Amino acid sequence: MDRRTLLCGLLALTTPVVATACGPGAPTRRPGVGSGKPGDRIAALADVPVGGGALVDVSTDGQLLLLRPAETELRAFNPACPHAGATVNPPTGGSVACLAHGSTFDPATGEVRSGPAKQDLTEVPVRVMDQDVLLA
């Protein structure tokens, strides 16, 4: 049994509403582009705050971390921590963090700041067109 199934089961016991989000019809999102293809719209530029970031769904099965360190700069990363694959959080307090084991990453570049991760977050090419963020 994976962690998601276990957590959904435990939460369903205490919060019935969670059962809908965790049930068999709930989409399974994995870090990365999933079945997304170049040209697919993944977010509105306005959904990514300047100086921050957001986790966004890609197609029906993927998820990316968008980072916007400046008004005219936007980068996308696979949100899987290179240490053990847990999904990192959008930046808070000047850092992107993996809460599973404590690795931190630079919110402008995805470079590892502290371990146990030894590698940077993997960048995914995107482009902005007409205020939409598209897979490149």
Q: Is the domain of 19 the same as that of 55?
A: no
Q: Is the domain of 22 the same as that of 59?
A: no
Q: How confident is the model at residue 7 (pLDDT cuts 50, 70, 90)?
A: very low
Q: Is the domain of 59 the same as that of 111?
A: yes
Residue-wise pLDDT tens digits, 30-43: 999 999 999 999 99
Residue-wise pLDDT tens digits, 76-103: 999 999 999 999 999 999 999 999 999 9
Q: What is the pTM of this model?
A: 0.79
Q: Using the predicted structure, report yes or no on whether residue 26 has a pLDDT greater than 70.
A: no
Q: Using CA atoms, how far apart are residues 101 and 33, in angstroms rounded to an integer?
A: 24
Chain centre distance of CA 62: 9
Q: Is the domain of 6 the same as that of 43?
A: no
Q: Using CA atoms, how far apart are residues 29 and 125, in angstroms rounded to an integer?
A: 19
DSSP labels for 15-72? Answer: -TTHHHHHSTTS---EEB-TT--TT-EEEEGGGS-TTEEEEEEETTTEEEEEEEEETT
